[in-house]
Amino acid sequence: MTTKGEPDMTQKTTADNPSARDDIDRSRRDLLKNMALAGLAAVSLPAAAGSAPERPPRPPGAAQPLKNPRTRFPNNQPAQQQAWPGLQRDMTPKPDCGETSYRGAGRLAGRRALITGGDSGIGRAAAIAYAREGADVAINYLPQEEPDAAEVIDLIRREGRKAAAIPGDLRTEEFCRSLVARAERELDGLDILVNNAGYGWFLPDILDHPGEKFDRTIKTNLYAPFWLSKAAIAVMKPGSAIVFSNSVTAFLPSEAFLDYSATKAALVAFTCALAKQVAKRGIRVNGVAPGAIWTPMQVYFEAPANNVENLNAITPLGRMGQPVEMAPLYVALAEGTSSFVTGSTWSANGGRV
């Protein structure tokens, strides 16, 4: 500060003294440099003791050991036969549907799902996974499959989720409409439909193919998904999802599964076409195409005694799949983070395609 009548020595010093100006400029540069370095350190250096970490630590047990997919599950199932439609509880060994192995992470919290064929096999694995991911689940099944269905309903409820058991035959439009309406009512809405129920029979000669079995295959595998999807889409909101259980036979049709292969190929096309049609509604439609999976279908359709052995042999991984191995795909296709995935069919066949 200067008094009146006195010269301003500060102005004179900085204006007339180059050395002083250089010192000030150097100090400013050093200050900016130190501030920049401090900011970089704050980003790159570990958090100081006592401060909050930048991200939560990995939970205990998150790291899992590598497992050889060839030996993860058995490939020595003994030959066995059951009367149609077969029960999972009577199979040896029982299929692994994730009853003790699937771990959820809340990926479907608050969702409401209807799964056909949810008593056993892939449908059962999807039901267990959905419940452990936080969804309420309704399952449909045939009355003869009640023992298996009761186990699934109990597993869903143990997760603290709503469970609805809705038995009935899918081969009429009236029942399919009532199934969707009841599932929506009991779950307080419907966000996910899994068209999983299917029917097939081992008939290698068309001359031996009875019309009743052909009719049942077409109505179960094609008519029912059409009716169910139609009823579900009418009540679904944007963000909902439909998942079809397609099959490897859509791409590698088997002469012994003439009508079954045809229906599954049709479902792949239906998946794509329906996805395009309902995209404007904000509803996604996808499918999963499993290969040979250890389910009751493998023991009821009167295949030769060595059929399971043959399926193990022709699969590059050297074994049939287990239902629990399909569950993550059904979860991924139903959850919201897969929002750009629609009209696709994901293969899971042990390397056969």
pLDDT tens per residue across span 213-272: 999 999 999 999 999 999 999 999 999 999 999 999 999 998 999 999 999 999 999 999
In a domain, 206, yes or no: yes
Evaluate the CA torsion angle 342, 259, 178, 296 in order and state its sign.
negative
What is the span of the domain harbouring residue 320?
A: 88-97+105-348
Q: Which 8-state DSSP code applies to residue 162?
A: -
**Which is the catalytic residue, given 102, 130, 260, 330?**
260
Q: Which two tokens stand for residue 281?
A: 């509604």
In a domain, 111, yes or no: yes
In a domain, 300, yes or no: yes
Give the total number of structural domains in the chain: 1
CATH number, domain containing residue 157 = 3.40.50.720
31 pLDDT tier (thresholds 50, 70, 90): low
Of the chain, the percentage scoring pLDDT greater than 70 comes to 82
Amino acid residing at 253: P
User: Which of 119-133, 161-175, 299-313, 331-345 shows the lowest mean pLDDT across its residues?
Assistant: 299-313
Query: Burial of 308 by CB count in 10 Å (0-12 exposed, 13-18 middle, 19+ buried)?
Result: buried
Question: Quick check: 136 and 334 in contact, CB under 8 A?
Answer: no
The DSSP string of 61-118 is T-S-----TTTSS---PPP----TT--GGGSSSPP--STTT----STTTT-EEEEETT
Query: Burial of 169 by CB count in 10 Å (0-12 exposed, 13-18 middle, 19+ buried)?
Result: middle
In a domain, 275, yes or no: yes
In a domain, 50, yes or no: no
Tell which residue, 187, 184, 147, 185, has the closest CA to residue 167.
Answer: 147
In a domain, 66, yes or no: no
Question: What predicted TM-score, i.e. pTM, was given to this entire model?
Answer: 0.82
In a domain, 60, yes or no: no
In a domain, 20, yes or no: no
- pLDDT of 75-102, one tens digit each? 989 989 999 999 999 999 999 999 999 9
Is 102 tagged catalytic?
A: no
Q: How far apart are CA 44 and CA 234, in angstroms?
A: 52
Q: Is the pLDDT of residue 53 over 60?
A: no
Q: How far apart are CA 309 and CA 246, in angstroms?
A: 23
